[in-house]
Amino acid sequence: MTEMSFPGSRPLNLSRRGFLSGTAGLVLATALPLRPARAQEAAAEAGPPVPLFLAIRPDGTAVLQSPFIEGGQGIYTALTQIVGEELDLDPAQFEVVPAPPGAPYDVMGGFRFTGGSSSVRSSYELMRRLGASGRAMLIEAAAARLGVPASELTTKPGLVVHAASGRETGYGDLSEAAMELAVPADVALRDPADFRWIRAGLKRLDIRGKSTGQAAYAIDVEVEGMLSAAVQHAPRLGLGPASVTNLAEIEAMRGVHSVHLLDGAVAVVADRFWQARRAVEAAEVEWQETGAEWPLPADFSSDGYRASLLAQDGPGLEVEAEGDAGAALAGAGTVIEAVYGAPFLAHGQLEPPSATARFNADGTLDLWLPNQAPEMFLAAAAETAGIDPSQVTIHSQMLGGFFGRHFLYRTANPFPQAIQLAKATGRPVKLVWTREEEFLRDAVRPLGTARFRGAVMADGSLALSAEVLGEGPTGRWYNAPAGEDGSAHEGLTGKPYAIPNRRIGHVYADNPAVIGYWRSVGHSMHDFFYEGFLDELAEAAGRDPFEMRQALVAGSPRHVTLLSEVGKLSGGWQRGPYQAEDGSTRARGVAMASPFGSEVATIAEISVDGGEIRVHRVWVAIDPGSIVNPAIIEAQVQSAVALGLSQTLVEEYIYEDGAPAARNFDSYDILRPDQMPEVHVAIVESGAPMGGIGEPGLPGVGPAVANAAAALTGRRFRTLPLSGHDLSAG
């Protein structure tokens, strides 16, 4: 995989091109060379450049057009810290808005993703240069105004300062003149030792609005003259509506405007969403088979699919190897074998998906929707509407949770239906999927399973062979060929351990379900498989799992430090079982993961109460190389631990007879407040290239908990969720 080099990374001055309507003053654009965050493994061509914009208003405040979408991960705040640091403007003086995609911004047109925990790390250097260029231009404008050489000028936050004469000029007064200037070819960046805002735990920009009900999401969009719509999806993907047998009755219901037979769904458009929903749920629909691209077989089930995976023969395509695992295992005294597995999962982001579509008098289309990849949505929307992409405007909205839900997944996004309904009614239409319809069409985390064989060799070294079975989302959506789809094996590959004889194979097998990215993607299950099996090998070797990991990473100072940090954070490693102060018997498990460019070590402490696991404390040491905002990192790790624990303990999306069994949170458990453990986070800055933050806290949680459960009960739990096992029996 090659990093794309992009010639135009010098910011362009776009002030006169009127790109930021309603904003006078200095406008800078730079282009972000972006590798599609996940498709990078697909060896897909790198996306074209994506510009981002910075404008300084006459009042001295700044508007930053963010190429990434805010969904609670704190990206807007982090960007203001980085740009503000170099621009010399207090991050609190920024307003951040999502940058619009595609045409008519002719320097744009590329792809960008909010995903792969990549937003800050992929844009860090460019954002710094953007801020520094702005500062240099403001200084130059001030030099002309004051009639002094630029070299005599400095800045302090929001002001250009001429120390010799004691004169100061606000950025706002200079922005118009700065607008006339060329972007400097070369700008000096601030010495990290002098950082004031980067690396500070600044408060986030969006918190007060989110604490007072003022934050608006896609579901809150209202446009003049709009109607509201609700759908009833076919119970199984591949069916479509033949007719609504009680059509007259539905049409006569209060507020109903019209009833529509769509691809795979029936829709009711009404004055109000509640009226539309009530009507569409009363619709009696006759469903029939259609020529859908991915029909779900009528007998499709999670159990059946798992069995079909396990029936696949290995060894699969080799995706990582060292030494000769086959020979080592053939010569080993005792070979340990185990099969690990994890179920399909729903995203369960709390905001149900929606889309508002409006065709304008000139034939153009405006769309308001949640999305993690605006250019892709724009292209797909244009195709659905049958118009040129230049005629589509996407209004990206703040995300009420995403976790991978808002990528472009055919059959899993509401906007094509909204476009059709707006076209059919000649009115703007807001379509909201009810939670039930969302469960029916979510793009789920794939069910996965892996077979392991391993041994402790006579010299104490390990030999390991693993075969992971199934299909990854990058293969599905970005055509990554089997063997090159990291999402199908990450977490089994890329581990930090010195195992001289090992082989990881990927046995590709189609997944009939519509699969998607879920927070930490392949890592969300593969690290659970691997780290569990590693503990089994430790047991076979008669070694402590923490001490064995220390030995296995001894050659990597970064990992040695990380393990020792998490050990310290937890008050010193102890496996247990031991008696806690409250009288409960507890044990601990440890796991390591290397997701998205960061390194993570996790320890979990559990007890068993009434046959159920209770997780008391989780300690996470995370090394993202270098950091922008420690408070945001801590919050993201808390959040990732919660989601990781949720899937470890309770989550399971089960297919039966071609449809999901659960349609809402009454039958699909997610982590409750009383199940949340204490979480302690240590941030380690090794100085390695910047890694991700949003996802890395997740993968270590499952194996740390399961390994603790093994220490406590003497039994191995090789499938998730753990609520599927009876722990009292042990």
Partner 1 sequence: MQLKVNGTLRDVDVEPDTPLLWVIREELGLTGTKYGCGIAQCGACTVLVDGQPTRSCITPAEMVEGTEIKTIETVEDTETGRKVVEAWVEHQVPQCGYCQSGQVLAATALLAGTPAPSDEDIDVAMVNLCRCGTYNKIRAAVRAASEA
Binding site for ligand FES (CB under 6 A): 72, 350, 401
Our CA angle for 2, 6, 8, nearest 5°, is 175
* Smallest distance, partner 1 to C-beta of residue 232, A: 14
CB atoms closer than 10 angstroms to residue 547: 14
* Smallest distance, partner 1 to C-beta of residue 128, A: 25
665 interacts with partner 1 by CB under 8 A: yes
Question: Residue 206 touches which of partner 1, ligand FES, none (CB < 5 to 8 A by kind)?
Answer: partner 1
- Which residue is closest to ligand FES by CB? 350
For the chain, the maximum distance between any two Cα atoms, rounded to a whole number of angstroms, is 85
- Indicate the SS3 state at residue 208: helix
Q: Distance of CA 562 to CAs 21, 380, 559, 588, Å?
A: 48, 44, 5, 17
Residue indicated by tokens 């008696």: 579
Question: Residue 399 touches which of ligand FES, partner 1, none (CB < 5 to 8 A by kind)?
Answer: partner 1
582 interacts with partner 1 by CB under 8 A: no
Interacting residue with partner 1 among 33, 47, 67, 71 (CB under 8 A): 71
* φ/ψ of residue 344, rounded to 5: -60, 150
How many residues of this chain interact with partner 1, rule: CB under 8 A? 61
Nearest residue to 53 via CA among 78, 81, 19: 19
352 interacts with partner 1 by CB under 8 A: yes
* Smallest distance, ligand FES to C-beta of residue 596, A: 21
Distance of alpha carbon 467 from alpha carbon 424, whole angstroms: 50
282 interacts with partner 1 by CB under 8 A: no
Interacting residue with partner 1 among 643, 708, 709, 710 (CB under 8 A): 643
146 versus 670: smaller Cβ distance to ligand FES: 670
Taking a C-beta distance cutoff of 8 angstroms, is the pair 420, 413 a contact? no
Sheet holding 354-359, edge to edge: 256-262, 265-270, 227-233, 429-432, 354-359, 365-369, 392-396
* Smallest distance, partner 1 to C-beta of residue 68, A: 14
6 versus 217: smaller Cβ distance to ligand FES: 217
User: Which helix (H) or strand (E) is 76 found in, with range?
Assistant: helix 75-87
679 interacts with partner 1 by CB under 8 A: yes
640 interacts with partner 1 by CB under 8 A: yes
Report the interhelical angle of 701-713 vs 523-541 (nearest 10°): 30
Binders in 331-350 for partner 1, by CB under 8 A? 348-350
19 versus 403: smaller Cβ distance to partner 1: 403
Beta strands 448-456 and 462-470: pairing type? antiparallel
Question: Residue 163 touches which of ligand FES, partner 1, none (CB < 5 to 8 A by kind)?
Answer: none
In the structure encoding, which two tokens stand for residue 4, read together? 């794309």
530 versus 668: smaller Cβ distance to partner 1: 668
Taking a C-beta distance cutoff of 8 angstroms, is the pair 652, 444 a contact? no
Question: Residue 434 touches which of ligand FES, partner 1, none (CB < 5 to 8 A by kind)?
Answer: partner 1
26 versus 421: smaller Cβ distance to partner 1: 421
Interacting residue with partner 1 among 30, 66, 73, 232 (CB under 8 A): 73
Sheet holding 62-66, edge to edge: 12-13, 26-32, 50-56, 62-66, 94-98
In this structure, which amino acid lies at residue 589? G
Taking a C-beta distance cutoff of 8 angstroms, is the pair 61, 93 a contact? yes
* Smallest distance, partner 1 to C-beta of residue 159, A: 28
Distance of alpha carbon 505 from alpha carbon 522, whole angstroms: 14
Question: Residue 316 touches which of ligand FES, partner 1, none (CB < 5 to 8 A by kind)?
Answer: none
72 versus 496: smaller Cβ distance to ligand FES: 72
60 versus 401: smaller Cβ distance to partner 1: 401
* φ/ψ of residue 280, rounded to 5: -70, -30
* Smallest distance, ligand FES to C-beta of residue 401, A: 5
492 interacts with partner 1 by CB under 8 A: no
Question: Residue 247 touches which of partner 1, ligand FES, none (CB < 5 to 8 A by kind)?
Answer: none
Secondary structure (DSSP) of 385-433: HTS-GGGEEEEE-B-S--TTTTS--TTT-SHHHHHHHHHHHTS-EEEE-
578 versus 665: smaller Cβ distance to partner 1: 665
Question: Residue 3 touches which of partner 1, ligand FES, none (CB < 5 to 8 A by kind)?
Answer: none
CB atoms closer than 10 angstroms to residue 417: 24
Report the interhelical angle of 415-425 vs 374-385 (nearest 10°): 40
* Smallest distance, ligand FES to C-beta of residue 636, A: 12
* Smallest distance, partner 1 to C-beta of residue 207, A: 5
Q: Where are the alpha helices (DSSP H) in 453-574?
A: 473-478, 523-541, 545-552, 557-569
Distance of alpha carbon 377 from alpha carbon 238, whole angstroms: 23
Distance of alpha carbon 467 from alpha carbon 465, whole angstroms: 7
600 interacts with partner 1 by CB under 8 A: no
Binders in 186-225 for partner 1, by CB under 8 A? 203-204, 206-217, 219-220, 222
354 versus 501: smaller Cβ distance to partner 1: 354
317 versus 670: smaller Cβ distance to ligand FES: 670
Compose the 236-255 pattern: x for residues touching partner 1 by CB under 8 A, - for all others.
Answer: ------------------x-
90 versus 281: smaller Cβ distance to partner 1: 281
* Smallest distance, ligand FES to C-beta of residue 160, A: 40
Distance of alpha carbon 602 from alpha carbon 292, whole angstroms: 44
Compose the 293-332 pattern: x for residues touching partner 1 by CB under 8 A, - for all others.
Answer: ----------------------------------------
Interacting residue with partner 1 among 224, 313, 459, 666 (CB under 8 A): 666
241 versus 401: smaller Cβ distance to ligand FES: 401
**Cα-atom radius of gyration of the chain, to the nearest Å?**
27
* Smallest distance, partner 1 to C-beta of residue 528, A: 18
Q: Distance of CA 691 to CAs 341, 596, 597, 706, Å?
A: 28, 6, 4, 26
Interacting residue with partner 1 among 223, 339, 676, 683 (CB under 8 A): 676
Nearest residue to 693 via CA among 645, 629, 621, 633: 633
Question: Residue 560 touches which of partner 1, ligand FES, none (CB < 5 to 8 A by kind)?
Answer: none
Report the interhelical angle of 523-541 vs 630-649 (nearest 10°): 70
Distance of alpha carbon 659 from alpha carbon 514, whole angstroms: 12
465 interacts with partner 1 by CB under 8 A: no
Question: Residue 727 touches which of ligand FES, partner 1, none (CB < 5 to 8 A by kind)?
Answer: none
Cβ within 8 Å of residue 152, ≥6 positions away: 143, 162, 163, 164
266 versus 641: smaller Cβ distance to partner 1: 641
Residue indicated by tokens 């509506």: 241
Considering only the stretches 66-74, 101-109, 448-456, 602-610, report the one whose residues sit in contact with partner 1 under the rule CB under 8 A.
Answer: 66-74
Distance of alpha carbon 125 from alpha carbon 587, whole angstroms: 44
Question: Residue 134 touches which of partner 1, ligand FES, none (CB < 5 to 8 A by kind)?
Answer: none
Binders in 422-441 for partner 1, by CB under 8 A? 432, 434-436
Nearest residue to 578 via CA among 708, 385, 443, 391: 708
In this structure, which amino acid lies at residue 91? P
User: Which helix (H) or strand (E) is 258 found in, with range?
Assistant: strand 256-262
Which residues, in sequence order, are bridge partners of residue 510? none
153 versus 643: smaller Cβ distance to ligand FES: 643
207 versus 298: smaller Cβ distance to ligand FES: 207
Residues in touch with partner 1 (CB under 8 A):
71-74, 203-204, 206-217, 219-220, 222, 228, 254, 272-274, 348-352, 398-403, 432, 434-436, 631, 635, 638-643, 646, 664-666, 670-674, 676, 678-679
